[in-house]
Structure 1
Amino acid sequence: MFKKLFGRKSEPFKHRVEFCVSNKAYCHPDVYDELEQREDVIVEDTGCNSYCEICDGHYYALVNGEPISADNAKELLEKIDEEIKLNPIE
């Protein structure tokens, strides 16, 4: 019994990327669909994240709880990748 509980091989941690459903990055295939295909990322749709000033005028996402914003979808994806590389989950 203990072997079943404590002997399991754990799955690696994944980065969490959250999109406000009101933001234009949420439905942009260059960002959302690209991240959904990655093995190291969990993509979640959320309601308002209370970053309305950023959300209203920019593409934005929360990466492991940190708000990341950009002027276009390609730049947002690059910034998300950079944030993941700078702050790996172990």
Structure 2
Amino acid sequence: MLKSLFGRKREPLKNRVEFCVSNEAYAHPDVYDVLEQREDVVVEDSGCNSYCEICECHYYALVNGEPVVADSAKELLEKIEEELSLNPIK
């Protein structure tokens, strides 16, 4: 029994991109749907992330806990992909 609990192979860690459900980027298919298709990313929805000043004026997401901000959905996706390439979870 102990072997079955501790002998399991662990899945590799994945990058985490979190969207506030109040932000425009949350429902934007150019960002959300594209990221969901990536194998190395887990996309999560959350309530308020306490970045209200950013949230009401810009598109934003938390990438591995760090806020990424842009003025358009396309720019946000580019910045998220840049952040994932520069600071991936290993």
Fold similarity call, TM over 0.5: yes
User: For residue 78 of structure 1, what is the aligned residue in structure 2?
Assistant: 78
CA distance in 2, matches of 1:80, 1:7: 35
CA distance in 2, matches of 1:73, 1:83: 15
User: How many matched pairs?
Assistant: 90
Shift of 1:5: 2.5
Shift of 1:6: 2.7
Structure 1 stretches of 5 or more lacking a match?
none
Query: Does 2:20 align with 1:43?
Result: no
User: For residue 22 of structure 1, what is the aligned residue in structure 2?
Assistant: 22
Describe how 1:59-70 pairs up with structure 2 within 5 A.
59-70=59-70
CA distance in 1, matches of 2:19, 2:88: 20
User: For residue 11 of structure 1, what is the aligned residue in structure 2?
Assistant: 11
CA distance in 2, matches of 1:87, 1:8: 28
Q: Percent identity?
A: 79
Measured on the aligned residues, the alpha-carbon RMSD in Å equals 1.0
Normalised by the length of structure 2, the TM-score is: 0.93
CA distance in 2, matches of 1:3, 1:48: 41
Q: Which portions of structure 1, spanning 4 or more consecutive aligned residues, are displaced by more than 6 angstroms?
A: none
Shift of 1:37: 1.1
Shift of 1:28: 0.3
Secondary structure of the 2:24 match is: coil
Output one character per residue of 1:13-72: Cα deviation in whole Å (capped at 9) or x when no partner: 011111111100001000001111111111111111110111111100001110000010
CA distance in 2, matches of 1:20, 1:35: 15
